[in-house]
Structure 1
Amino acid sequence: MAQTREIRAQISNISKTRKITRAMERMAFARLAQARKRAESIRPYGRILRKMMARFVHVDGDYQPALMARRDPVKRVGLIVVTTDRGMCGPLNTRLLQEVVQQLERWQQAGQECSLTIVGLRGLATLKRCGSRVVAHVPAGSEFQPSEELLGTMSVPIMQFLRGEIDELYVATNRFVNVLNYQPLLSRFLPLGHALAGVPEHLQLPLHHHPGHHPVDYIYEPGEQEAVDALLLRYVETIIYQAVAENAACEQAARMTAMKSASENADQRVEELTLEYHKARQEAITRELIEIVAGAAAIDER
């Protein structure tokens, strides 16, 4: 009977866990629609802004915006790492942080200093254990909304680049493809440029005009260079916003998938334990019957 009591206790515990995982799966499913809509809605804004910058940057061919200044050799780099605050979302954070750690090792071997700006508690805990230098940190938040705290934190690496404290700035995040597919992405986006090897399309600035299009004269206020600098800064902020928004969508999709898999595993384990419980109970009943029959036979013999 002790064995059957232990099996019943296991079934009860797993059933309670299954209720939790199913509830988390439904919550992630409900939040995914909003997060996915937010991530996909900003992509057209970024594309249009890139086209605008492709025209505005050509206003003054001799002017070199600060956000496009290239510095050789590269001795100091910055990295923005976008992760989640909570776990239970499968390998979402693990795969991204593995790539980040490998890249940090490559920079260290090349003699380059690296400063990190981290979004999310998971990335902060892991990268601090690796001994990385963290200059700024902000929680990701369960429901991402652009806030002054986030924009203030993200301005730290941008100002580092403008002051010349770092020569290049990279971003590491998860790019949302669909509900079942998301890709870890680590790419350079400062200094801004075009046709960068290995840089995705949404992080490139197409500094060219389309065939058949001619530059249009604009009236700038207060000036041409000031307008270009302001729009380039807004473009960089848009890239960061898109990285955090897409990672939020990936988080909900990964959590929904992970919790669904956990619920299915719990169902399978409950079925196995139920079968094991019935077998153990049948064995106990059979053993008791054998003992009763043996006792009755012994009484008849006496």
Structure 2
Amino acid sequence: MEKSQEIRNRIKSISGTRKITKAMEMIASSKIRRAQNRILEARAFISSIEEVITDVACYSGLLHFPLLTPHENDRTVLILGVTADRGLCGGYNSNIVRLIEKTFRMVSAAGKTVKLDIIGIRGRNYFRYMGYEIEKVYENLSDYPKFLDAREISREIISRYLSEQVDRVIICYTRFKNPAEQIPSVRQLLPIPIYGGISDENIEDIVKNSNKLFYDRLESLGQIQIGDKTCRINPEFLYDPSPADVIGSLLPQYIYTIVYGALLEATASETGARMTAMKSASDNAEEMIKDLVLMYHRARQQQITMEIAEIVSGAQALATVAE
């Protein structure tokens, strides 16, 4: 059994660690509500933009915009991976990194050239260590992402897509469900799949349908088929500004908002994962302290018993000598 002093030192060390994990848990819990509110606002805004884009494009017949139209040659795919800048958040980083790697392998296996952009220091360090070539890195965005940051990233991506440096853009991020559960997700950014709603897509579907056109103009019927939605072109609708101006201004804003929403989802997921991990660490430290306190009392009791036995033995020896 360990000596009493050694056990006391371990208790002191673990108690200090528990104070740190408890403080981190409280900080994360104070941030999570604000992060959740920002996510709900972003989701509602994204849904509204998608509805407007789909309706205007559908009822006006304006579907041949550069950001909506797939490239003729679908050869180069850009993957934008959203990771964290810091650790101590449980399996958050490892889960999203695995998803990015899986997406990379599946797109490569489909015969595509894959380019990789990474948001977050943790992802940057991992993929550089593993030998991946990273095109661009964006750091220090995970703590409190701003719309201006998302707009800067989106403009860079749109520029590369319009100049045909890349033919498709996929974003991998972590979707927030609750503080205890985060879902690594993937969705296609460009060309914009206007039939898809805000739901995330499967990697297999994205890879399999890489050359799928997202619309089918039915001139003879005066209709447009977008996924499962059939809309009749109505030339009597009047738009001010024109439908082309509306869609032309909304499409870039839509990409900005999708990227911003992904950053918000990732931040909330990281915060929730950190809160859960620190709570688990604090609880484990508490259990360890209880076990060590029990060990300390037993060791102390054994030491006292031994000292009493030595005193009694000494007294008996003195009595024997005196006789």
CA–CA separation in structure 2 for the residues paired with 1:63 and 1:259: 49
Q: CA deviation at 1:113?
A: 1.8
CA–CA separation in structure 2 for the residues paired with 1:63 and 1:101: 33
CA–CA separation in structure 2 for the residues paired with 1:8 and 1:264: 19
Cα shift readout 1:218-251 (whole Å, capped 9, x = no counterpart): 133xx64344222111111111010001111111
Structure 2 regions of 5+ residues with no counterpart?
A: 207-213, 216-224
User: Contact conserved, 2:150 with 2:257, CA < 8 A, in 1?
Assistant: no
CA–CA separation in structure 2 for the residues paired with 1:117 and 1:266: 38
Cα shift readout 1:92-131 (whole Å, capped 9, x = no counterpart): 1111111111222233333322212221111111111222
1:28 is matched by which residue type in structure 2?
A
Q: CA deviation at 1:140?
A: 4.1
> Percent of pairs identical after alignment?
30
- Matching residue of 2:293: 274
> Residue 41 of structure 1 aligns to a residue in which SS?
helix
> Residue 67 of structure 2 aligns to a residue in which SS?
helix
> Residue 86 of structure 1 aligns to a residue in which SS?
coil
- Matching residue of 1:219: 240
Cα shift readout 1:143-193 (whole Å, capped 9, x = no counterpart): 424154443233222221111111111011111112222211022231112
Structure 1 regions of 5+ residues with no counterpart?
A: none
Alignment of 1:14-93 (within 5 A): 14-58=14-58, 61=61, 64-71=64-71, 73-93=73-93
Q: How many residues align?
A: 299
> Residue 66 of structure 1 aligns to a residue in which SS?
coil
CA–CA separation in structure 2 for the residues paired with 1:207 and 1:244: 28
Alpha carbons of 1:255 and 1:63: their partners in 2 closer, same or farther (altered >3 Å)? closer
Alignment of 1:115-264 (within 5 A): 115-141=115-141, 143-146=143-146, 148-195=148-195, 200=200, 207=226, 216-220=237-241, 224-264=243-283
Which deviates further from its counterpart, 290-299 or 134-143? Answer: 134-143
CA–CA separation in structure 1 for the residues paired with 2:140 and 2:263: 8
> Residue 176 of structure 1 aligns to a residue in which SS?
strand
CA–CA separation in structure 2 for the residues paired with 1:198 and 1:56: 18
User: Contact conserved, 2:150 with 2:259, CA < 8 A, in 1?
Assistant: no
Alpha carbons of 1:58 and 1:211: their partners in 2 closer, same or farther (altered >3 Å)? closer
1:252 is matched by which residue type in structure 2?
T
User: Contact conserved, 1:136 with 1:153, CA < 8 A, in 2?
Assistant: no
1:68 is matched by which residue type in structure 2?
L
> Residue 141 of structure 1 aligns to a residue in which SS?
coil
Q: CA deviation at 1:207?
A: 4.5
User: Contact conserved, 2:68 with 2:191, CA < 8 A, in 1?
Assistant: yes
Alpha carbons of 1:197 and 1:238: their partners in 2 closer, same or farther (altered >3 Å)? closer
Q: CA deviation at 1:62?
A: 6.3
CA–CA separation in structure 1 for the residues paired with 2:92 and 2:2: 41
Alpha carbons of 1:149 and 1:197: their partners in 2 closer, same or farther (altered >3 Å)? closer
CA–CA separation in structure 2 for the residues paired with 1:219 and 1:198: 27
TM-score w.r.t. structure 2 length? 0.83
Cα shift readout 1:190-219 (whole Å, capped 9, x = no counterpart): 111245699628x99995878899673213
CA–CA separation in structure 2 for the residues paired with 1:170 and 1:298: 86
CA–CA separation in structure 2 for the residues paired with 1:272 and 1:2: 13
Alpha carbons of 1:72 and 1:287: their partners in 2 closer, same or farther (altered >3 Å)? farther
CA–CA separation in structure 2 for the residues paired with 1:195 and 1:170: 16
Alpha carbons of 1:181 and 1:149: their partners in 2 closer, same or farther (altered >3 Å)? closer
Alpha carbons of 1:189 and 1:145: their partners in 2 closer, same or farther (altered >3 Å)? closer
CA–CA separation in structure 1 for the residues paired with 2:29 and 2:234: 47
User: Contact conserved, 2:60 with 2:233, CA < 8 A, in 1?
Assistant: no
CA–CA separation in structure 2 for the residues paired with 1:89 and 1:73: 41
